[in-house]
Amino acid sequence: MADTFFWYELMTSDLDAAIDFYTRVVGWTVEDHPNSALVGVRYAILSAEGQGVAGAMQLTDDMTAGGARPTWLGYIHCADVDARAKAIAEAGGTIHVPPMDIPNVGRFALATDPGGAYFYIMAPQPPEGEAPPEALAPTTPGKFSWHELYSSLGDKAAFDFYAGQFGWETMHEMPMGEMGTYRIFGADGVQMGGIMKKPDQVPMSAWGFYTNVEAIDAAVDRVKANGGQIVNGPIEVPGGSWIVQCVDPQGAHFSLTAPGR
């Protein structure tokens, strides 16, 4: 497996309400992870076509007291979490949760890049015989298909950090006038996402994730009908796809993409 995003996690203030929202908007099916009963913390698995693609869990009082708010975070695959965490710190990043094991799941750590954007690294231990999320076709509804970083470092410095850690490549540089450059990155010749300078109205550096839906206008209607908000879009992007950026009822930002309106 390449060192790319492979899992996504929603931290939310109301797990039941968030699950209801996303099942209606995206169409994911949901069931609790078997470990939930063992550790006493509910962890919901969100699936597309029967394949788990993301998890969701309730923010604890301690997390909220520490400043945590509803958000989506991404996990980047790596073979050696301890070595990678050390390299991230040496490159100017910060390790917020040191490497630790989750029984029957894998070893992980929580980090921020030098610009302050959060991400996880993980060496997963998937159940025997279970296909990884990337086994789904790229256009499968419910699959995460694009990763976008708004960085206070600007596109090049932010990209250089991730390229040094995970071997990512610049695929294309798209000038955007006063907004700077939108740097499309990938690995092994496959595009994965874009990096750009953080707009002034965005409070902090952050990763955003785009989930596939079948048609963008119908998805917009579902977001609004179920208590979400549209922040930007719908917008047609190069290549003919459509995107929309949204906020769920608990305040977590998310984005959707579709091949047409």
97 vs 134, residue with greater confidence: 97
Spatial distance between the Cα atoms of 71 and 51, rounded to a whole number of angstroms = 22
Domain boundaries 5-124, CATH class? alpha beta
pTM for the model? 0.93
User: What per-residue confidence (pLDDT) applies to 38?
Assistant: 54
Percent of the chain with pLDDT strictly greater than 70: 94
Beta-carbon count within 10 A of 41 CB: 12
Confirm if 249 and 48 have CB atoms less than 8 A apart. no
d(CA 261, CA 247): 20
Q: Fold match between 5-124 and 143-258?
A: yes
**CA distance linking residue 82 with residue 135, whole number of Å:** 27
Place of tokens 């060496």: 123
Question: Contact, 5 vs 78, CB < 8 A?
Answer: no
Residue extents of the structural domains in the chain: 5-124, 143-258
> Which band of pLDDT confidence, cut at 50, 70 and 90, is reported for residue 132?
low
Distance CA 30, CA 146 (A): 22
Q: Is residue 41 helix, strand or coil?
A: coil
CATH superfamily placement of domain 143-258: 2,3-Dihydroxybiphenyl 1,2-Dioxygenase, domain 1 (3.10.180.10)
C-beta of residue 184 within 8 angstroms of C-beta of residue 111: no
Q: What is the pLDDT of residues 2-18, one digit of tens each?
A: 689 999 999 999 999 99
* Residues 259, 31, 20, 13, Cα dihedral to 10°: -110
Rounded Cα–Cα distance for residues 27 and 48 (Å):
8
Question: How far is 68 from 13, CA to CA, in rounded Å?
Answer: 10
